[in-house]
Amino acid sequence: MFASDVNVQGEWGLLRALRLNAAQVMRYLETYIASSRSHGFSDDALSEWRRMYRRAEASYQELAALTSSNARARGGPRIELLEERVSAEYYAFMRVVLGSLRQMWAQFDAVLIIAGLSVLLLLAVALAAIYACSHQLTLEAIVALMWKNGHALAKKSEAGLRALLGATTVLVLNRISFYSTVCREEQLPGCTPTFYGSPSASISSVSLAVANIFLVWLVPFVMLRFLRRSHSDRAMVARLWVGVGMRLSMGMSAAYWFFDSIDGRSSSSASFATAASPGAQAATASSGAGGTAADWSELRIVLARMAIGVALGGGFAAWYSSPFCLDVDISKPTSKAVAGGARLSTNAPTTLGPANSHQTAVVLGYGNAYGAAYLIFTTVVFCVLYLVQQPMGGIMLSLLFIKLLICAETFDALRDALAANYSTSLLPAQMVTVAMLAYLDYFTTGHQFTLVSVQWSTAFVGVKEMQIVICGAIVALNTLGSFVLAAVCVPLAVLWNESLGSQLLRMAPENYVTRLAGAAMLFTSYHAVVATSSAIFAAWFRRHLMVWKIFAPRFMFAVPVFMASVVVVLALAVGFAAVRVLRLGLNVGNIRGIRTTNPNHIP
């Protein structure tokens, strides 16, 4: 590349390039040594580098003197031999420096790297194999047989319309989510950060905190609207927790961040006034003596602790004691009642009692009993995550929660529309969609795959002083909030719109749990593939100039995301919550078909 003699005044092009490169390396070393006392270079290494560089420079001066004194010798064999020797000396100098710096600054164990990559690859293959084993063809055949025998829903066109509407809504919400941005250094000035409400601010603005309060009404309203389709919103747990308790917990969380933004703006104004006018320092001190800042701080701590207390002490306790959103309505029979005590639609309330009875008991929420029960659990987890997100993060996390629920409804509608061809499973596409939504909202909640973007200030939500375990857990929940929420919502792909009297669940309950495990395996497999590819690129580009800026941080964050997703989806979502809902549902699911004529006697 540099061997041409053009435009170098007769000097060998490669020699000129090597000499310039060596001079740059030596200048860098001398500047680094002068600016850093703890440079780590030994005296022997420094002496060897300087000796080799001076020797190469001396040889070059000898070559230059020879060529200038005898113009006719230029291009002769002696000059060419000397040029090659000088080039070799510059090249040897740079190779020695490079080898020394690699030993001191970047040591990579190739054996351990290959072993780690092999473990990740085997893990991804194992997860895929587990999913393949959980993909029960018998269940698929049972569902297809049920549809052929006429046990399916009457309107496919309605299901297709629901799926189209749901997909469109998710796309619109994704576009809204793009409003929240946090810019990297290399993106400036072409990128305008909006996460904090101001490009130059590092704290949330009051306007964003006020907008966050709006979500206190919106999210429970959306949850109740989804429950209303199956009449599950009439149940006591839905009315008390979603209608009251969830709003109370979210309201206190939003109030916490509202007061935090006011305190942050007051502190910034005071700091600016103090810097602008030395005389303002006394006024700032006197205003602080009144205890206003301390009072706001104490109030914020109380609000945060009450919010988490309502979520765990109220919401979780209500779900654990009575998770099913069921209610019984006593009414006179109508012409729409179906003899035999059941309606055709799985989302309609189930009628208990024949059409000719004096009064009819109707179980509300029967058609989506499993999905509604699990949704109550996800709202509790959401309230905890909502507390540790800054105002813009809380808004984006709320949109993610709504999108995940819409995805469950959309893919359920697609299964209804495509039930005749049920052999083509939609579960892989649904899990990939959920995982990709989690990654999208990881960025919209103000995070990036860099240590600088970690929101360390959230460590003190509800905490007076530093406590390593508690503060670390809060920062982890703030950073991984979108992935935790997505992992918790994975069982909705199987449980949503599942009737309490599901014949499929009664025929093969153990295989139904296997379907839940299969969904979990698909979700974790996606993150395993991402973590493995990040590790491969980090290993391949380990000598790259931007390895510690791009490739290594990407791998450093991919592994915790994968580990958190595995723990949450397997231990918390499937292993605890979903299995509990299924176990309780199988115990109480035999109420279908019970008839009664006495409104005061409801079995």
Using H for helix, E for strand and C for coil, what is the string for 85-112? HHHHHHHHHHHHHHHHHHHHHCCCCHHH
The confidence band for 216, taking pLDDT boundaries of 50, 70 and 90, is very high
582 is written with which tokens? 């299924």
Name the band, by pLDDT with cuts 50, 70 and 90, for residue 240.
Answer: very high
Structure tokens at 312: 């765990």
Is pLDDT above 70 for 525?
A: yes
Distance separating alpha carbons of residues 407 and 167, to the nearest angstrom: 7
In angstroms, rounded to a whole number, what is the distance separating the alpha carbons of residues 91 and 19?
A: 9
Highest mean pLDDT of the ranges 179-193, 343-357, 525-539: 525-539
Residues in the chain: 603
| β strands within 199-349, DSSP E | 327-331
The SS3 of residue 4 is coil
Domain definitions of the chain by residue range: 13-105, 113-326+365-591, 330-364
Q: What is the 3-state secondary structure (H, E, C) of 30-65?
A: HHHHHHCCCCCCCHHHHHHHHHHHHHHHHHHHHHHH
**pLDDT exceeds cutoff 80 at 431:** yes
Please check whether residue 560 is in contact with residue 580, taking contact to mean a CB–CB distance below 8 angstroms. no
pLDDT tens digits, 7-47: 445 456 788 889 999 999 999 998 988 887 777 788 888 89
Q: Work out the pLDDT band at 339, boundaries 50, 70, 90.
A: very low
Structure tokens at 284: 């700032």
- As a dihedral over the C-alpha atoms of residue 376, residue 378, residue 384, residue 389, rounded to 10 degrees, the angle is -130
Q: Which residues of 126-149 are buried (b: 16+ CB within 10 A; e: fewer)?
A: ebeebbeebbbeebeebbbebbee
* Residues 6 or more apart in contact with residue 42 via CB below 8 angstroms: none
Rounded Cα distance, 516 and 524, in Å: 12
Cis peptide before 189 (omega within 30 of 0): yes
User: For residues 561 and 532, is the Cβ–Cβ distance under 8 A?
Assistant: no
Instruction: Spell out the residues 6+ positions from residue 385 whose beta carbon is closer than 8 angstroms to its own.
Output: 397, 477, 481, 484, 485
* Terminal Cα-to-Cα distance of the chain (whole angstroms): 89
CA dist., res. 339 & res. 354, Å (int): 5
Band of pLDDT at residue 373, cut at 50, 70 and 90: very high
Burial of 252 (0-12, 13-18, 19+ CB in 10 A): buried
- Which residue is associated with the tokens 């991804």? 124
* Integer Cα distance of 124 and 132 in angstroms: 12
Backbone angles phi, psi at 37, to 5 degrees: -75, -30
Task: Give buried/exposed letters for 336-349 (b at 16+ CB in 10 A, else e).
Answer: ebeeebbbeebbbb
Burial 464-478 (b: 16+ CB within 10 A, else e): eeeeeeebeebbbbb
Determine the 3-state secondary structure of 352 from DSSP: strand
What average pLDDT does range 378-392 have in this prediction? 96
**155 contact partners, CB below 8 Å, separation of at least 6:** none
**How far is 553 from 519, CA to CA, in rounded Å?**
29
At 428, which amino acid appears? P
Query: Would you place residue 270 in the very low, low, confident or very high pLDDT band (cuts 50, 70, 90)?
Result: low
Looking at residue 409, its pLDDT comes to 93
Which of 37-41, 119-123, 427-431 shows the lowest per-residue confidence on average (mean pLDDT)? 37-41
- Write the CB contacts of 458 (distance below 8 Å, at least 6 apart in sequence): 388, 389, 390, 474, 475, 478
β-sheet bridge partners, residue 327:
364
Do the bridges between strand 350-352 and strand 360-364 make them parallel or antiparallel, or are there none, so unpaired?
A: antiparallel
Cα–Cα distance list, 198 to 140, 266, 280, 392 (Å): 53, 16, 25, 12
The one-letter code for the residue type at 54 is R
Distances (CA, A) of 381 to 110, 376, 384, 389: 42, 9, 5, 13
What's the whole-number mean pLDDT along residues 72-100?
Answer: 82
Q: Tell me, what's the pLDDT at 218? A: 95
Overall average pLDDT of the 365-388 stretch: 93
40: left (phi over 0), alpha (psi -120 to 50) or beta: left
- Which of 337, 370, 330, 372 is CA-nearest to residue 355? 337
Neighbouring C-alpha atoms within 13 Å toward the C-beta of 488: 22
Q: Work out whether the CA dihedral 127, 128, 130, 136 comes out positive or negative.
A: positive
Mean pLDDT of the chain, nearest integer? 81
Q: Which amino acid is at 209?
A: A
Q: How far apart are CA 479 and CA 267, in angstroms?
A: 25
Work out the angle between the directed axes of helices 427-444 and 481-488 (0-180°, nearest 10).
160
DSSP 339: T
For residue range 553-602, what is the model confidence (pLDDT) as tens digits?
999 999 999 999 999 999 999 999 999 999 888 876 554 433 333 333 33
Beta-carbon contacts of residue 575 (< 8 Å; ≥ 6 apart): none
Strands, E assignment, 271-332:
327-331
- Per-residue pLDDT band at 276 (split at 50, 70, 90): low
Q: At 470, which helix (H) or strand (E)?
A: helix 468-479
Gap between the Cα atoms of 302 and 596, Å rounded: 50
Find residue 329's DSSP bridge partners. 362
CB atoms near residue 54 (< 10 Å): 12
